[in-house]
Amino acid sequence: MPYCQYCGNEVGSDHRFCSRCGKELALKNSESTTENNKMSEAYVLGVVGIALIFFFFPAAPLVSSIGLYKADKTNDEKAFKLCLVGTIVSILMIVVPLSLYILYILSLML
Ligand SMILES: [Zn+2]
């Protein structure tokens, strides 16, 4: 149940005004709490990006960097860290084998 931010009175979630003090309840306040409770879009992208590292890693840097961009725009620090890890790990997982492969090809040519 949400509480009035002015007097602390318990109010119904569908109430616009506090029944005790009559002040307008900040809808934005309750919205941001529910936004923190449910996973943000950027956070979901971060989770998907990390999951893609294991299932289809070429797509992981794309999803993670989109999440990174969204997390940056929405100041979502938790999602930002997650997406950053996803981006770095997935890029490493592409760059490291690729450079090893190139080194291998080069060693065959020499
Ligand atoms: Zn009140």
**18 and 28 in a common domain:** yes
**86 is in which domain, residue-wise?**
39-109
Cα-to-centroid distance, 37 and ligand 1 (Å): 23
Cα-to-centroid distance, 34 and ligand 1 (Å): 20
Res. 36: pLDDT tops 80: no
Backbone angles phi, psi at 28, to 5 degrees: -60, -35
Number of domains in the chain: 2
**33 and 68 in a common domain:** no
Cα-to-centroid distance, 35 and ligand 1 (Å): 23
Note whether 5 and 26 are within 8 A (CB): yes
Cα-to-centroid distance, 13 and ligand 1 (Å): 13
**59 and 29 in a common domain:** no
**71 and 24 in a common domain:** no
**59 and 99 in a common domain:** yes
More confident residue, 52 or 104: 104
**99 and 77 in a common domain:** yes
**67 and 14 in a common domain:** no
Summary mean pLDDT of the chain = 83
Close Cβ partners of 57 (under 8 Å, ≥ 6 residues apart): 90, 93, 94
pTM of the full predicted structure? 0.53
